[in-house]
Amino acid sequence: MAVVEVRISLPYKGKDPTEIAEKIKEKFPDEVVDVTNFRDQVSVIVKKGRIVDICRYLHDDPLLLFDHLQDLCGVDYHAKKDPRFEVVYNLYSIRHHHKIRIRAQVPENDPNIRTVTAIWVGANWHERECFDMFGIVFKGHPDLRRILLPEDWEGHPLRKDYPLKGPEPEKDWHGFIEVLNRSKELKEYEWEE
Amino acid sequence: MLIDTSTVGLIQVEEGTKILPPNVIITTFDKIINWGRLSSIWPTTFGLACCAIEMMAAGAAHYDFDRFGIIFRGSPRQSDCLIVAGTVTKKMAPVVRRVYDQIPEPRYVVAMGSCACTGGIFRTYNTVQGCDTFLPVDVYVPGCPPRPETLIEGMMKLQEKIRKEQARWSPWR
Amino acid sequence: MPGTYLPSEYLPVLIFILIAAAFGLGALLLGMIFRPKKPYHEKLMPYESGITPKGEPRYRFSIRFYVIAMLFVVFDVEAIFIYPWAVVFDKIGLYAFIEMVIFIVILFVGYIYAWRKEAFQWD
C-alpha cells in the first residue's frame, strides 16, 4: 500500500489592506486625506494632484504590484459634501491577491484629473464613460469623447441635478426630434385598413 | 359559365370558399393572397435587448417558429415583418426607423416586450417611451420578457389581422 | 433544295420556349401592375444596418482580371488552331508540321515574355 504525501496549503492572501494604506500614507503624506475601513474594505481618499504618481507607485512597487484595474468610476456627492465629485479606482493584484480602493477627490469648479491610461490601458473606456456621465475631463486621454450617449448629447446624466426623465421633449436630442418629425411626414405613406 | 353550379356537387367550406371535391377550390383573390401572406411571415431579426433571447428561444427547436412559416431573415430587404424586441433608446431610434423604412410593402410591425410597447420600467433620459412614437405598430406583445408562447400568440394575432385584410396594400385604393 | 429547309420537328421546342418566357416575364409584369408603388427617400437608400451609408458602393476591380482574361483568349485561340491541324496531321506531310512548329514557337516566345513580366503572378 503506497503512502501518498498530501500537502495542504492555504491560499496566499497577500498584504493586509490596512498595511497597504499605511504604506501609501507614509510615501505620500500630503496627498492622503483619509483612510476608511468598512468591513475589511479599505479605501484611501487622496487629492487629485499627484494621482498618477500614486498609481504608478502602486503599479510598480514589487511588493504591492497592482496590475489589474478592476474598475474606474465616478461619484457625485451633490450638496452632501465638498468636493463634489470623486473618481474611484478599484485595484487588484493578480500576483499577490490583495485589493485596495483609491478615491480621488475632484472639485466642481475644476472637474478635471489626469488620466491613468499610461499605467492601465483598460482605463480608456472607463474614463470615457466617467466623462460621458459626470463631465469629469481626463487630461492626457488619447480619445476623450462620449461613449454611451450620442456624441452631441448635451448634459451629463449621472449628475444628481440632471432630471431623471431626461430633457423636455422640445429640448431633446436633435436626432430623436428628427426621427419623430420624419415619421410624422411619412404618415402619408402608411397603409391603413 | 363553364360549370353549371346547380348540378355539380359544390360544397361550401366557409364563407366565400367552395370546394369541388376532391381537389378544386374556388375562392376569392383576397383570401388567397391573405393566406399566402400570413403563412409565410418573414421577420427581420431586430433583437435589441433581453427580449431577443426569448425571440431566439421561440425560433429554436422546442417552440418552433418555422412550422408557422416564420423564417428569420437577416436583411430588411428580404423580409416583411419587423419584430422590435427590446428597449429602444433615443440613440437607436433613427436606426430602427431606417430599417423599418427599408422593408418593402406589405410590412408589419410587432412590438415585443414592455420596453418596445411603452418603454417598460425605464422612464429615463435615453429610453423611448414605446416604439409606437415613431413606428406604426400592428401587434403589441406585452411581457418582460414575454414567454415564447406569448410571442407565438402575438404572431398568430398578426396572422388574424392579415386574414381580415381587404386590399390594404393595393395601389388603387 | 437548300434554303427551304424548315425544322418542323422543332416546333414543340419553340412553343416550350415561349411558354417558359411567358411564365417568367408574365410574373414580373403582373407584379409590376399589382404591386404598391410608394417610394420615398429612405426606402430607396442602400441598406447598411440602418445607418447612413458611408463610402462608395462600387470599388475598383484589380487589373489582374483583365490580364488573365486576355492571355486566356490568346492561348485558347492558339489551341483552336491546333485542333484541325491535329485531325489532318497524317495527310498533310512534313511541310505543314514545320509550319505548325514555327507557329507554336512564335506564341511560345510570347508566353515566355508574359512569364518574365510577371503576368501570371496574382499578387
Q: Which residues of chain B fall below pLDDT 70?
A: 1-8, 173
B-chain residues near A191 (CB < 8 A): 105-106, 168-169
Task: Tell me the Cα Rg of chain A.
Answer: 23
Q: How many residues appear in chain B?
A: 173
Cell digits of residue C92: 498533310
Is A165 close to B124, i.e. CB distance below 8 A? Answer: yes
Q: Which of B94, B124, B165 sits opposite A179 (nearest CB)?
A: B94
* Residue C54 in contact with partner chain B when CB distance is under 8 A: no
CA separation for the pair B129, C103 (Å, rounded): 80
Angle between helices B148-163 and B51-59 (to 10 degrees): 70
- B36-51: per-residue pLDDT in tens? 999 999 999 889 999 9
CA separation for the pair B104, C36 (Å, rounded): 9
* Residue C37 in contact with partner chain A when CB distance is under 8 A: no
Q: Name the average pLDDT for chain B.
A: 89
Is B93 close to A157, i.e. CB distance below 8 A? Answer: no
Look at residue B8 and give its three-state secondary structure.
coil
pLDDT value at position C22?
A: 96
Average pLDDT over residues C46-70: 83
Q: Name the average pLDDT for chain C.
A: 88
| CA-based nearest distance C45→chain B, Å | 8
pLDDT band per the 50, 70, 90 thresholds, residue C57: confident
Four-point Cα dihedral A52, A57, A59, A61, nearest 10: 170
List the single best residue of A178, A179, A187, A189 to mutate versus C (max C Cβ within 10 A): A189
pLDDT value at position B77?
A: 92
CB pairs under 8 A between A and B: 53
pLDDT mean values, one per 10 residues, chain A (193 residues): 73 80 91 91 92 93 91 92 91 90 93 93 94 94 92 91 90 92 88 71
Look at residue B139 and give its three-state secondary structure.
strand
pLDDT value at position C35?
A: 84
B-chain residues near A159 (CB < 8 A): none
- The position carrying cell 381587404 is B166
Is C38 close to A189, i.e. CB distance below 8 A? Answer: yes
Angle at A107 (CA atoms; ends A32, A41), nearest 5 degrees: 45
Average pLDDT over residues C90-112: 93
Strands A41-47 and A99-106: parallel
CB A179 within 8 A of CB B128: no
CB B156 within 8 A of CB A181: no
Handedness of CA B62, B66, B68, B71 (dihedral sign): positive
Is A186 close to C40, i.e. CB distance below 8 A? Answer: yes
Per DSSP, A12 falls in state P
> Which run of H or E residues covers position A59?
helix A51-60
* Residue B171 in contact with partner chain C when CB distance is under 8 A: yes
* Residue A186 in contact with partner chain C when CB distance is under 8 A: yes
| CA-based nearest distance B56→chain C, Å | 20
Q: What share of chain B is helix, strand, coil (3-state, %, to 5)?
A: 35, 20, 50
Residue A180 exposure: Cα atoms within 13 Å on the Cβ side: 14
Residue of B nearest to A180 (CA): B134
* Residue B57 in contact with partner chain C when CB distance is under 8 A: no
